[in-house]
Structure 1
């Protein structure tokens, strides 16, 4: 599995909050993904017109979010956020099956949401 990285000019806790908080998650996931609902640890997504359920697990101590499709356990991934100098973070994303374009779109969308939410003046 390839790790995709994106430097984000914000504190790690803020980046992770943008990634896991349900309302923010709904705001930054790029098309064709659309959040339909959240029940406990199950995220319901519309993916290009099809509904899919994804189990989420957030580790707030290690700033790590993992997910797995309930219908297809081979579709899974993880996002880890780490400090990168003063006031900066690095987001590391792994997705299966490997899809570099999708991974880069996710990281770009997350970075834009963090910038719009936490660094807009």
Structure 2
């Protein structure tokens, strides 16, 4: 019986902590980034529907799932290296005049991340530092 009381007490404490953390993050501006940046719509695979979308969908989705694009965030140079690797080893055809537009799209929408899902927690919410 005592163990069950402890478990229920732990669940209550966890609920209080989660609620407190939510309130602090919300007041810290947790949704301010999302509200201030309106992104273009995405297709059913998560690709951003913006200039270059049709080229990327036509060339890239012919061989692999668009999720491979969505889950990667690389610099333009790294996207180009990846394209060259696919051309050398995976039988990707030359992209010709479409290549700069494809790289522009990839760099714009799937470049290195500069924002993450939320801002860092305030120092007051961090666990104590151990030495």
What TM-score bracket applies, with the shorter chain setting the length?
under 0.3
What is the TM-score normalised by the length of structure 2?
0.25
Structure with larger Rg: 2
Whichever structure has more strand as a proportion of its residues is: 1
Whichever structure has more helix as a proportion of its residues is: 2
Structure with bigger RCO (C-alpha 8 Å, 6+ apart)? 1
